[in-house]
Amino acid sequence: MPKVIGLTGGIASGKSTVSELLTAYGFKIVDADIASRKAVAKGTKGLEQVREAFGDEAIQPDGEMDRQYVGDIVFNQPEKRIELNNIVHPIVRQIMDEEKNEYLEQGHNVIMDIPLLFENELQDTVDEVWLVYTSESIQIDRLMERNDMSVEDAKARVYSQISIDKKSRMADHVIDNLDSKLQLKQNLEKLLIDQGFIEAYDPESDDAVSYTHLTLPTSDLV
């Protein structure tokens, strides 16, 4: 029977890289970030609700949402974050549920890629939770390099979420990402073998499938 797995982590922990690797292993990905963009895409009811809540300044001249403007507001004003979540979350859940159910009907294992899975208390909506783990210091360094952030801004982003160590204790399985991309891939493969999703490669067997040829994603660890 197909499984629904919640994939999460901290900001800049490497979750997107793991998600790309899982696609190569045949999992179907339902991405909360993509669903969030669809929820407030140009011309949608969700975007009109954002305009009503945040004003015309929240809409760019091209009709798309000004994510920087809205993001700065909700980051600094918790009550506005709640208001935005109340608009977006129901739409996102509907989009993700439709995608998930379609994949399950086709017999696929599904990865629900949800950055704030624990923050939004969604762990009971999946069969199990896999967490991509790295240290807070590495998160901060990656954010500073990737997003050209000051150390203060990077720390603020990291500390705005539940700590990665606490999340690791809440997850069913932890995928270590403290080292290289190659080590991350090997750690993921070990989990997939242990959980019976793939077979360990035996060079003397004609039946076992080797996944060691898979190339690593070229995207940044996000």
**Closest Cα partner for 219 from 33, 11, 15?**
15
Whole-number pLDDT of residue 98 = 97
List the chain pLDDT tens, one digit each, 222 residues: 899 999 999 999 999 999 999 999 999 999 999 999 999 999 999 999 999 999 999 999 999 999 999 988 998 898 999 999 999 999 999 999 999 999 999 999 999 999 999 999 999 999 999 999 999 999 999 999 999 999 999 998 899 899 999 999 999 999 999 999 999 999 999 999 999 999 876 656 555 444 433 444 444 444
Position 31 scores a pLDDT of 97
Distances (CA, A) of 124 to 3, 4, 108, 134, 179: 13, 11, 20, 24, 30
Cα 114 to chain centroid, rounded: 4
Q: Which pLDDT score, from 0 to 100, does residue 220 have? A: 43
What residue segments make up the domains of the chain, in order of their start? 4-194
Lookup: tokens for 95: 């989009």
Q: Domain 4-194 is in which class?
A: alpha beta
